Amino acid sequence: MPTTPRLTTPLGRMPGVGPATESRLARLGLRSLGDLLFHLPLRYIDRTRITPMGSLRPGDEALLQGRIELCQIRFGRRRSLLCRLSDGTGSILLRFFHFNRTQQAMLEHGAILRCWGQVRAGPQALEMIHPEYRRIHDAERDELEQALTPVYPTTERLPQSVLRRLAAAALAAVEQEPEALGELVPERVIRGLALPSLRDAVMQMHLPPPGMDMEQLLAGRHPAQRRLAFDELLAHQISLRLLRREVRTFTAPGLVAADSEPMRHFFGRLPFKLTRAQRRALRDVQRDLAADRPMLRLVQGDVGSGKTVIAAAAAMQAIASGYQAALMAPTELLAEQHCGNLSQWFAATGIPVVMLTGRVGGRVRRQALQRLAGGELMLAVGTHALLQEGVSFGRLGLAIIDEQHRFGVHQRLAFLEKGSAPDFFPHQLVLTATPIPRTLAMTMFADLDVSVIDELPPGRKPVQTVAASSERRAEVVQAIRHAGAQGRQAYWVCPRIEETDDANVQAAEETARLLIEQLPAMRIGLVHGRMPARERDGVMQAFRGGGVQVLVATTVIEVGVDVPGATLMVIENAERLGLAQLHQLRGRIGRGKDASTCVLLYKPPLSALARERLETMRATADGFVIAEKDLELRGPGELLGARQTGLQRMRVADLARDARILPQVQRVADLMIERHPERLPELTRRWVIPEPALGVV
């Protein structure tokens, strides 16, 4: 190993990093020393000054220094080691529940200790439980930190001391090789935006000076954070633009059968008329399919706006032109729903729809794969199983991906490659039921053209939305009992699976147990993300078929199947969810002929932000209005729900918080692609985190 580590040095070669620690660091995406530069602190500890013990109050976080006056083991319900620390202005008890003989020997009478922790009111005096501490020798008594101490995002059994030591080594390596953080964004751009240099921004984020505005820093508004967020958003924007440019260099089949007899027959047999918005989106798709360059189009529409029929018409156009079409969905249940709809719409054409999911195996799977590879089967629906080795298509002309945000960019490309030949790519149609403001769509989907379906089909009854205190749970349970007596079904959504220490959060398992007691005549089902997929899908299928009347669920059902009989949606702790997620959950009901109601149960008192979110849900059902409001409020709910699964991961940037700089990011991306193409590979390598290796989920 070199004397001075470089930023490219693997973390496994750093002193004190064994295989176990290396594995834990990899969980955080940290593999080389340079990765630590952009692994930024969540918050900071002020260890630049010592707080007199006489001024301490419960709840304070403080750095203390004093002499140990007493240290003894206290036996009781839980054995603990108690040390009384004094500095002449007052004293405090340090309490340790987990300790060994070495620690006990270090914490001897008369030792000078410096410790950090949160002060709490104990039975006899103020206490700190398990503070960070170290013994201080006389020569060190006046030595204090010169910068705020960072607290990094971490994982189980990876202490802050390891992350701080590695981050310090990374910053030292920058001093040795400053070109590693060389400026790639044009200087006049940075000057025009009044942002610091990249090197200064990184240094300030890891080691902020004591006078730094902590409120600004924790809110993500500090110039150093804005600089790093700008670079990261720029790198992602450019990487998607370059990806689009690369794909567009390939040839695609011109699917020119939009006006053919099979297409007219398909539309003639549909049991409904397309809305104006659907026809507009379909024209975009048909025009792209007829070109000899791969279509890269996103059809974005609210829940229930009718995106699937656009996908079906596109598939029909491919098949009528002599090419195969395939649709990939994120779950088996959603794939089965698509298969059912497509089979119904294609029944009169004689075109079979084949299912390919993880459950399909044996002879049925082998035959399906053989017929797909030979070009005999024209339409396939599946899950990630479509990405498996051994799955290939003889003449794939169109790849359709539902719920875009559940898949990564590279998964989309892997799907396209199933039908590619040298210099040949199939067309790609992507669907999402998440309404996204235009600026964000241009950022997240810079490799795609966007069509919007902004109206619902006629006949859809609006869902009535009411907000109610959790103190009215008994009334809600009675409403479910009444709905069940009329043959209707209900969802009850909880934000957690199990009971937690937070009494304000209702857990799904406990809710299911209570409802079984309160509604003995009704059949209650439970689904959550930790259940095996087969068991979860079985419960969902029972709910869809009417065998389960009340489905208690976590937000795992945010994207799910149509259950026309479900007319009531209860969302526990609605004040804790973001607007977009609440809207997605509400979209699970209102799909049948009966009026539907969504009940937002909240735990009072409400914060001003939570109150505004719930008022917005009551006031509008327009997903695009809700998305804009979500962006404006910038609450804890993410625009795409609790997780941004499948989206490229961001280290610093936050799409909602940093939305105001996105137009500038797009302009600078244009400038750099045109005038500084030589800088692009290094910029994207620096920021864009490689996606995990593909595999069946």
Name the pLDDT band for 538 (thresholds 50, 70, 90): confident
In this model, does residue 189 exceed pLDDT 90? yes
pLDDT at 694 (0 to 100) = 31
Task: Read off the pLDDT of each residue in 207-220 and give the average, rounded to a whole number.
Answer: 84
Closest by CA to 101, choosing from 123, 78, 71, 128, is 71
pLDDT at 503 (0 to 100) = 45
Residue 150: strand pairing partners: 44
Backbone angles phi, psi at 634, to 5 degrees: 50, 50
Task: Read off the pLDDT of each residue in 57-71 and give the average, rounded to a whole number.
Answer: 95
Query: Does 92 or 439 have the greater pLDDT score?
Result: 92
In this model, does residue 325 exceed pLDDT 50? yes
Task: Among 257-261, 406-410, 633-637, 679-683, name the most confident range.
Answer: 679-683
Name the pLDDT band for 387 (thresholds 50, 70, 90): confident
Lowest-pLDDT range of 22-26, 78-82, 638-642, 657-661: 638-642
Task: Report how far residue 496's alpha carbon sits from residue 506's, in angstroms, rounded to the nearest whole number.
Answer: 7
Backbone angles phi, psi at 118, to 5 degrees: -100, 135
Closest by CA to 613, choosing from 583, 643, 640, is 583
pLDDT at 645 (0 to 100) = 35
Task: Read off the pLDDT of each residue in 279-286 and give the average, rounded to a whole number.
Answer: 97
Backbone angles phi, psi at 41, to 5 degrees: -65, 150
pLDDT at 504 (0 to 100) = 47
Task: Report how far residue 584's alpha carbon sits from residue 557's, in angstroms, rounded to the nearest whole number.
Answer: 9
Query: Does 507 or 264 have the greater pLDDT score?
Result: 264
pLDDT at 293 (0 to 100) = 94
CA distances from 583 to 260, 314, 455 (A): 39, 28, 16
Task: Report how far residue 47's alpha carbon sits from residue 489's, in angstroms, rounded to the nearest whole number.
Answer: 57
Task: Report how far residue 382's alpha carbon sits from residue 405's, in angstroms, rounded to the nearest whole number.
Answer: 17
pLDDT in tens, 290-314: 999 999 999 998 877 889 999 999 9
Share of the chain above pLDDT 70, in %: 92
Query: Does 278 or 419 have the greater pLDDT score?
Result: 278
Q: What is the CA radius of gyration of the chain?
A: 29
pLDDT at 522 (0 to 100) = 96
In this model, does residue 501 exceed pLDDT 60? no
- For residues 602 and 469, is the Cβ–Cβ distance under 8 A? yes
Task: Report how far residue 570's alpha carbon sits from residue 508's, in angstroms, rounded to the nearest whole number.
Answer: 12
- For residues 324 and 375, is the Cβ–Cβ distance under 8 A? yes
Name the pLDDT band for 407 (thresholds 50, 70, 90): low
Task: Report how far residue 631's alpha carbon sits from residue 460's, in angstroms, rounded to the nearest whole number.
Answer: 27
Q: How far is CA 9 from the centre of its chain?
A: 30
pLDDT at 513 (0 to 100) = 93
SS3 291: coil
pLDDT at 422 (0 to 100) = 65
In the predicted model, what is the mean pLDDT of the chain?
Answer: 87
**Domains in the chain, start-ordered, CATH in brackets?**
49-144 (2.40.50.140), 182-247+660-697 (no CATH), 257-453 (3.40.50.300), 464-633 (3.40.50.300)
In this model, does residue 2 exceed pLDDT 60? no
SS3 203: helix
Closest by CA to 335, choosing from 386, 397, 299, 266, is 386
pLDDT in tens, 572-590: 999 988 888 899 889 889 8
pLDDT at 458 (0 to 100) = 77
pLDDT at 502 (0 to 100) = 45
Residue with tokens 């499948």: 646
Task: Read off the pLDDT of each residue in 46-51 and give the average, rounded to a whole number.
Answer: 90
In this model, does residue 566 exceed pLDDT 70? yes
Lowest-pLDDT range of 340-344, 467-471, 620-624: 620-624
> What's the token pair of residue 206?
């890891």
pLDDT at 297 (0 to 100) = 95
SS3 518: helix
Lowest-pLDDT range of 2-16, 156-170, 508-522, 601-615: 2-16
Query: Does 534 or 112 have the greater pLDDT score?
Result: 112
pLDDT at 648 (0 to 100) = 53
pLDDT at 647 (0 to 100) = 44
In this model, does residue 421 exceed pLDDT 70? no
pLDDT at 102 (0 to 100) = 86
Query: Does 466 or 501 have the greater pLDDT score?
Result: 466
pLDDT at 646 (0 to 100) = 37
